[in-house]
Amino acid sequence: MTNIAFIGLGNMGGPMAANLVVAGHRVTGFDLVPAALEAAAASGVTIAATASEAVAQADVIITMLPSGRHVLAAYEGLGAEAGLLASARPGALFIESSTISVDDARRAHQLAEAAGMRSVDAPVSGGVVGATAATLTFMVGGAVADFELSEPFLSSMGSRIVHCGAPGNGQAAKICNNLILGSAMIAVSEAFVLGEKLGLTNQALFDVASTASGQCWALTTNCPVPGPVATSPANREFQPGFAGALMAKDLGLAVEALESTGVEADIGRLAEAIYRQFAADGGGGLDFSAIIDVIRERSTKESA
């Protein structure tokens, strides 16, 4: 049994912490939201009064927080409150699973190393469903020895663990993956709206594209129309899954990386602008596949 501290017990962190409890670990958690603490306690997580208290006796510290600034503030501390790095045992393993910029991830690694800690960045793919079912994919950046140390804990929360290389490379893989995903969902949604205009049923288009060269995860797992994929959010009024606000955030991180590296990526930048507007217009709380409704609303011309 390993003592694990879990900081950030929201929609993703809560189920992840619960799966660590199921795996037999002693998990102490902290979150600023009372409802998150209540749910975590019901799943067997011991609740600490502060984040610093949660990590004091931990061998492994996992963070799942909203943004890079939250991660760095948690590591370094704010005001009179000591940060996680100052409160943790020397040599503890930090697993940073938030989705943040590559630069922030590398800064977190530097801070951990300077404090005598071991660390990996390990963002996830798979959404709330994957977090609950322990089928997440972890994309891990860090030294080989630290990756190997983290792997058993990540395996309690996910079904695929990929070492992507040096510190920050887990985040690099995450934003590249979601650049593909966001762009693909827009293309899939446009195709279904076009198919409707041309007289195709959604099922007919799905039956063709899902077994032809248009096949992709956005189509076969997260299909944006009700019917063809029973488990897709389209069948439950686009309750997320993976929220539009999170897709907008991740694509924003991708655009930051595009700009810092000088990569020319017209489709990626357009996808980011589309999802940023979608979130601003009230779609942030819906599954990102609800972008199809925006496309329908804009497609007012009747077919001939």
Query: Does the active-site annotation cover 197?
Result: no
> What gap in Å lies between CA 228 and CA 223, rounded to an integer?
7
Cβ neighbours of residue 190 under 8 Å, at least 6 residues apart? Answer: 295
Tokens coding 207: 């039956």
Tokens coding 72: 């760095």
Tokens coding 11: 């929609």
Active-site residues: which are they? 174
